[in-house]
Structure formats: C-alpha cells, structure tokens
Structure 1
Amino acid sequence: MADREASPIPLEVRARLAELELELSEGDITQKGYEKKRSKLIRAYIPHPGGKFAGSAQVQPLCGAHVVTRPGGSVQRHDALYVVGALEEAMELRGMRYHPIDIETSVIRTHKSIIECAVFPWTNLLVVVVELEGSEQEALDLVPMVTKAVLEEHYLIVGVVVVTDIGVIPINSRGEKQRMHLRDGFLQDQLDPIYVAYNM
C-alpha cells in the first residue's frame, strides 16, 4: 500500500459531529440531514490517492494515521479505520461495502431536475431510482448522466436506472428513505415509471 497520511480530525470538527449526533437523537434534524452534514464535515479528512475525496467504497485502513488519545492529549501513530455511515444501511456489491447516501448524493448532483434519489441492490445489480421534476423528455437524457456519475465517483456500473415522478420514493415520518419498500415496489412492478433503462 502506498504510504499515505490521514489528517487528524480537528477538535472543533469532532465537537460539531457530537452536536450533530445530539441533534439527531433529540429529533431536531432528520437522518438524511444528519448524513449530509456529517459527510460534508468528514470528507476533507479522508485522503484518496488520486487527489479526490474517498467515497464509501474506498474506506480502508490508513497507514500511519494520527489518533489523539485522551490521557495527556498525546498523539500516537498507528493504523486506523474510518467508518462513514451506519453499517446496517451498507450495501455489498462486488465484494465491497457502499453506503447508499454517498451514491444518492452523487446522483442528485448530476442534474437540476433530479429532486430525489434512492439506490438499492437487486441480485448483483445496483438499481438507481430518481424522481424527475420537469418534462418527461428529460428522462432519457438522465440515464447516461446518472450512469457516468456513479461510475466515475464510486467505480460501480449501474444495472438499472428508473426515472419516476415526484413522490414515488417512500419516506417515513422521520424523513428516512424506505429503500426496501421501494425495492419491493420495483420487483412487483408498482412504481409506474416514466422510463426504465437496463444497463446489462
């Protein structure tokens, strides 16, 4: 493994992360808001050899990571593992773990007409469901953009892209996406999509 240094997470960032945890536990923010804010805070401190930020698939032990220990505040060098996201939400594709929020954030950034996105695994394929705000003619244009974004940022090939109207992705009362309900609706052909592209 190439010799890399991980930037220690500053105390003020760790304090902000603790505040976010508290806000989430008290119900002041939704899970989605928490994950977005946490990702923004942490990404600057996870190096990637290509100069880009590490996505969820690149999380691995980092050689020589600095970890601050409490007694005396001394700094010791040893291997560390950064885990970003809840393990129960992680998807395993091609032998690697991916966090849906990372892929969904990348997809939402691809086009201004994408209002919401949800991803889930189906057999060995990644299914991306996007909610489109705009004309149905744009649906076909979104497929290559979504496929390209996921490939470039996460090194995954999208198996199926489903373009739907707004409100198809189920969200519970806490603002969390119900990906398994969405998956069941997809498998039972209940989504009434605008367009479906199978990239197999």
Structure 2
Amino acid sequence: MTSRTVFPGIPILASKGFLGKLDREDKLFLLTISIFLGLGQPRNPKGKRKGPGRPGTLAPGPHQLPLDLVSRAKPYARMEEYERNLGEMVAQLRNSSEPARRKCEVDLQLWLSNKRSLSPWGYSINHDPGRIPADLPEAQCLCLGCVNPFTMQEDRSMVSVPVFSQVPVRRRLCPPPPRPGPCRQRAVMETIAVGCTCIF
C-alpha cells in the first residue's frame, strides 16, 4: 500500500479501502471539500441545456427588467451621480478656507495627488451659463517648470503642461431673443484640463 499527501497532514492512500484508514476529522474534511466542490458546479451540465437561450442570459420575469431597459437606465443614473459629484467638488472649491496659493511646491504631507505631483496644479471654477452643469472644476498648473525630485526646487529645463480630457456636459440650445420658445438640451463632450504633467 502506498500513500501520498495532497494536503498537509491528510494522507491519501492508494488502496480500495483507504477511507477506513482515515480518522473522523479527515473524513469530515473530505466531506466538506466534496460538498463545496459540488456547489461550485453549474446546475445544467454542458450539452444538457434546456431551451434555446445563450448561457448567462435570463428571460425577463415578472420581477426582472429586460436587459435592454436596464442598459438604457444605467447611463442616466451614472450621469446624475457624475453631475452631483462635480457639484460637490465645485462647492468645496467655493467654500475652501485655504487661501488660493499659486506657489510652485510639492507638499508630501498631503494625500491629494495634485499637491504631491512634480507638476503640481490647483483648481479653479470654469463657469459657462449655457452649459449644464454651469460650473466645472478645471486644473491650472502652478509651475512653469517642474519640481526637481532631488532638490525639490522648480527646474525650468522641464515644462509643466495641462492634461486635457473630454467630459460629458449638456448644452442649452435656446432660440434667439426675438423668437420666444423653449430651450432644448444637447449632450456634448467638452475638453477641460483635469491635471498637469511634466515634459522634458
């Protein structure tokens, strides 16, 4: 009779009656493992699926929305959350008790990435009354050069440049003043500075 160890302390004996050789704790452990392995198996084995559906899709029931309605509803929820987060950031900028420092320095004590960067930046409020949201936080580089990581002083042999990104906004489309009428909204992407980086 030979034995091999799969798990430390649990020998698997290569004989017909190896279960008889295991003590109660080892049998309980093997039973637990087999139950968890069984629970992890799919309900319908491959090749025995019933119905024409693709794997992973569910037919809409009385308690489920069709998948196309869910996918159409999600972008609106994300957009509302996105605009709410932007509004909170603009409110923080307006209510900030910290004076607007335009100093080119790195503050390693702060967790904010814009103050720890070798090309630090601050935020200002970009206001446009024809846009929804009307106020967006916009990055402004605090250095002409970059902070040298060895001296922690500004080095003008390098250049700080803004990093731009496209952000989704809505534009108010109103008729010219002589013609009264309701304003419409159109979703557009607007380019705005979101940070700064250093180039050599």
| TM-score normalised by structure 1 residue count | 0.21
Q: Which has a greater percent of helix?
A: 1
TM-score of the superposed pair, with normalisation by structure 2: 0.21
> Which protein is richer in strand relative to its size?
2
